[in-house]
Amino acid sequence: MWKDWIRPFVRPLPQWSTIAVAPPQQAVTATLRWDRRSADVTTDHTVASLKPLSIATSIDAGDAPSLEYTDSTTGKLLGALHLARATSIAVDGSNVTIYHVEDSEHRCLPWPRRAWNEWLQNRVMRKSNTSHHALMDPHSVQQLMIAYLCPRPVILVSVDTPGHRNMFPMDLIGPLRRSELFSLALRNTNVSEPVMRDVRKVALSSMPASMKGTVYKLAEHHKEALGDWSALPFPTRPSRTFGIPAVATALRIRELGIVQAHDMGSHTFFLGRMASDEDLTEGTQLHHTAGFHQAYRRRRNAAFAEV
């Protein structure tokens, strides 16, 4: 059909693709490179804030390292973020280094489609007025999409105190393997943010891909706390030691003891250690990746299962 042929020329790819992946994702490898040295940071880097767009890792890789994302099967470079060291955080003998994203590139689309798709996507972003687009300029969102070349798992975070209860989705999350820390980057406008700073414990439910609709619906609780646990559209079970209600049908339930909270511009960067870890069932977890990454894999007949 001529319409299928013409579509890429007039319509941008979706920015994000929601996919079903068995955890931990191994499709993409992340490598930090600096001074002719390199380290695998696939399970040791995360997004710490969206504005400024910041990356955290346990490795101090000097002033200007690069973070490269490669296809684990073919070894092909998919994209890279060029970083500038911003600060470091000491946590009980470990160090977490924070980098700002200075520059970026990706190779998921051939040129000139790459530049044309970016132009089309940026035009849509400038026209839309969602709070996400109000927070980040189109150029930074393009850089964020590159950070999502490593598919990011989605969890539901539960908070429970006598006066406040909540459950909401997150994907700007750890782990930071070498320092044995786990991080959560949470918009400082989130209604539970001050409570989390205070109570210092949360439960994390790893969400099955089949629950995508339910997970997205709970995004409203970034702004408004939950009235009652019984208002949730699924059964809960208490987390192992904190007794916080978590998702009964989760793939895995972990409990995070928060040890530090840092202001990082638009987001609060929580750092914590796991207090418990229950593997409940096997299955695919809801993940996000960049739309141009899914398009790249589709061209190679290796598309992620989309949900």
Ligand X SMILES: Cc1cc2nc3c(=O)[nH]c(=O)nc-3n(C[C@H](O)[C@H](O)[C@H](O)COP(=O)(O)O)c2cc1C
Q: Output the smallest distance, CB 154 to ligand X, in A.
A: 5
Instruction: Name the residue nearer to ligand X (CB basis): 154 or 159.
Output: 154
How many Cβ atoms sit within 10 Å of the Cβ of residue 75?
Answer: 8
Judged by CB under 6 A, which stretch of 102-110, 179-187, 243-251, 253-261 contacts ligand X?
179-187
Alpha helix stretches (DSSP H) within the chain = 2-10, 113-127, 131-135, 138-147, 193-199, 212-217, 291-299
Instruction: Using only the alpha carbons of the chain, give its radius of gyration.
Output: 19
Amino acid at 295: A
* Residue 79: closest CA among 139, 143, 19, 171: 143
The mark string for 211-250 relative to ligand X (x by CB under 6 A, - otherwise) is ----xx--x--xx---------------------------
Dist. CA 215–CA 211, nearest whole Å:
6
193 interacts with ligand X by CB under 6 A: no
- In the complex, the smallest distance separating the C-beta of residue 172 from ligand X, rounded to whole angstroms, is 3
Stretch of residues binding ligand X (CB under 6 A), selected from 57-65, 166-174, 229-237, 252-260:
166-174
From the centroid of its chain, how far is CA 220? 18
Among 45, 106, 165, 187, binds ligand X (CB under 6 A): 187
3-state DSSP assignment of residue 54: strand
* Among candidate residues 51, 19, 14, the one with its CA nearest the CA of residue 154: 19
Min. distance of Cβ 223 from ligand X in angstroms?
6
Number of residues assigned to the chain: 307
263 binds ligand X (CB under 6 A): no
* Residue 129 or 301 with smaller CB distance to ligand X: 129
For residues 174 and 184, the answer to whether their CB atoms sit within 8 Å is yes
**Would you say 218 and 231 are in contact if contact means Cβ atoms under 8 Å apart?**
no
Residue 1 CA, chain-centre distance (Å), reads 37
Tokens of 59: 């490795």
Taking contact as CB under 6 A, which single stretch among the options 55-63, 165-173, 197-205, 242-250 is the one that binds ligand X?
A: 165-173
Please tell me the count of residues contacting ligand X according to CB under 6 A: 17
Burial of 255 (0-12, 13-18, 19+ CB in 10 A): buried
Taking the complex as a whole, how short is the minimal distance between the CB of residue 113 and ligand X, in angstroms?
28
In the complex, the smallest distance separating the C-beta of residue 54 from ligand X, rounded to whole angstroms, is: 13
- State yes or no: residue 119 binds ligand X (CB under 6 A): no
The reply on whether position 254 binds ligand X by CB under 6 A is no
In this structure, what token pair is assigned to residue 94? 């470990």
Does 150 engage in binding with ligand X (CB under 6 A)? no
* Rounded least distance, CB 180 to ligand X, Å: 21
21-80 residues in contact with ligand X (CB under 6 A) are none
Please state the closest distance from residue 114 (CB atom) to ligand X, in A. Answer: 26
Minimum CB distance to ligand X smaller for 109 or for 215: 215
List residues near ligand X by CB under 6 A. 130-132, 154, 169-172, 185-187, 190, 215-216, 219, 222-223
